[in-house]
Structure 1
Amino acid sequence: MSSSPNLNVLANYLAGEFENKEQAMTEPAWYVNLLMWQRTVSLFQEDSLALFAEQANILNLEQPYRQRLLRITPMSGDGCFKVQYYMFKDPTAWRGAGRDDTLLNALTPDKLDLLPGCVLMMNTVNLAQNQYKFIAKPLPDTRCKFNYAGNTIEVSLGFEATQKEFVSYDKGIDSATGKATWGAIMGPYRYTKLQQF
């Protein structure tokens, strides 16, 4: 029987440079060709794995966006984890850290704002000996809402990860209508890992 994965396994699966080129070429009307970076950072190391994440349109790599931090903490129960999202007080200060991780050396907790409603529960599926699929979904009856630049932002979050693929269900939500306005509107973004960090 496979043993349960630990934070080192999660870091190996989640950290890296990813691209959804194949999906964007197959369905260009619905999917933008993106590069996404996820890098481990040395915060919350006493009990958690912290990941810096951002992405950029392949046509405009010098303007990455959606800088965020994920704090992943093991929960009681085999292969269960809590994913807590944070936003940066000044996202522009960290722009480009996905490609240049030296920027992250100055990152401290006081540069972050906790997003209380932006929490996922992650479960683990054993695919084979020492091979896993991580599935992260929102808690029931929670909404990821926060204020940014004077606007209320609502986001629906979720992802799945295997050793070679990252699948993102993230999408922006119009709070008035409940309808998706950007992101995984027609289904998830499917990223292939290009490089391991």
Structure 2
Amino acid sequence: MTKPSICVYCGSRPGVRPVYVAQAARFGRLLAERDWRLVYGAGDVGLMGEVARAAQAGGAETFGVIPTHLVSAEAGKRDLTRFVITETMHERKKVMFMNSDAIVVLPGGAGTLDEFFEVLTWRQLGLHAKPIILLNPDDYWTPLTDMMARIVQEGFADASMLDMTRSVDDAEAAMNALATMLS
């Protein structure tokens, strides 16, 4: 098997809790330790920048994808192993997804939620079976997983949707889950 490529969706801001930055950096370091490739949004800001800088510092291969209109806003990180500029956000998400074996979602905002729900919907539709991990430091994603349970409870999704993601507390647990799911 070739080295796994892990797509990371996360905030272009650091958030208010230091644990978010610490877990993003830790995840990047752990990716490098396993010699796995980081696929991400190519920004050098917020949690995106933390993950990428930590992965790079450890020698990991990095694959960044950014749309033209965000190159300045997200400080496009051009010193990556591979840096791709797309025309649209939709194209960015497609390129990231197609170049990854699994998805890890760190804390983030509306863009991160958009990315998460797109890959979750594609999984529900049977378009892929890639692992989706919610890295949930300080219960950041717990309201989301509660809402997903409510969606099932209210009859808007099959209970199988709840088995399509896995929530973990920290970077180590995310890497361990990925190692098991990708083996």
**TM-score, reference length from structure 1:** 0.29
Higher relative contact order (CA 8 A, sep 6+): 2
Who wins on radius of gyration, i.e. which is larger?
1
* Structure with the higher fraction of residues in helix conformation: 2
* Structure with the higher fraction of residues in strand conformation: 1
